[in-house]
Amino acid sequence: MRKNLKKSLCLLVALFVFAFLALGSSTDDTKSDSSDSTKKSDSETKNDTKKSDSETKNETKKDSSDKNDNVPIEYKNALKSAESYNELLHMSKAALYDQLTSEYGDKFPAEAAQYAVDNLDADYNENAVKSGENYCKLMHMSKKGVYEQLISEYGDKFTPEEAQYAIDHMDVDYKECALQSAKSYQSMMGMSKAAIYDQLISEYGEQFTPEEAQYAIDHLETSYEKSRINS
């Protein structure tokens, strides 16, 4: 009787262990299947995303190309001309438009010129800076003189904001500009120092500050003497 009971107990234990191991194996398989499914889903999602991004870029390029193909050749030529002016002459937006439409300039239709200035990749602030520095270098202008030239409707036609940006960012020594201007008045017009000073500070003349004009007068004779000695 006891032997049979022991056998029965052993059999029950064996069955319990077997069932436990079988259940564990099934759980592991489920986890593995779930993990593989998740990885596959993530991979498919990434591939779909890449595919979608690529398709979007291609569609964008196609749209851009289609739009460019629809632009009249006259408009494209106006834009090319505007790009050349912008690179070489550092012009304002208004001056560019006028040059493109002028009967003495490029003679483009108004619509083509407007397309050009609207689509030109230009930094008009920097154009104003370069234009202002050229005025100082070549014509020895004062700060106020440069500003007025930049915004003048008969000059560069920059906006007041662009002109002020130029004044604030130009690398210029206005005292030296005043001196060079004074030397021109002295050598070309034979003016006295007093007359040169008045011309330098005049609102109808060079519009230098009194300090800049005085610097020019103080260094004018020295500069003149050096020039006479060297000659």
Domain span at residue 135 reads 123-172
Please report, for the domain that includes residue 135, its CATH number. 1.10.10.10
Pair 93, 128 in one domain: no
Average pLDDT over residues 109-133: 97
* 183-197 pLDDT per residue, tens: 999 999 999 999 999
Q: Are 113 and 154 contained in the same domain?
A: no
Q: What is the mean pLDDT of residues 138-164?
A: 97
- 73 is a domain residue: yes
pLDDT higher than 60, residue 114: yes
pLDDT of residue 23: 47
Contacts of 159 (CB under 8 A, 6+ apart): 92, 124, 151
The answer as to whether 13 is a domain residue is: no
Residue 33 inside a domain? The answer is no
Cβ atoms of 174 and 142 within 8 Å: the answer is yes
Encoded tokens for 168:
């604030």
Domain count for the chain, please give it: 3
Instruction: Yes or no: say if 108 and 100 are a contact pair by the CB < 8 Å rule.
Output: yes
Task: Using a pLDDT cut of 70, give the percent of the chain over it.
Answer: 66
Residue 5 has pLDDT above 80, yes or no: no
Q: Is there a domain that residue 26 lies in?
A: no
The average confidence (pLDDT) of the chain is: 81
Question: Is residue 64 situated within a structural domain?
Answer: no
Only one residue has tokens 């920097």, namely 126
Q: What is the pLDDT of residue 197?
A: 97
- Mean pLDDT, residues 152-180 taken together: 97
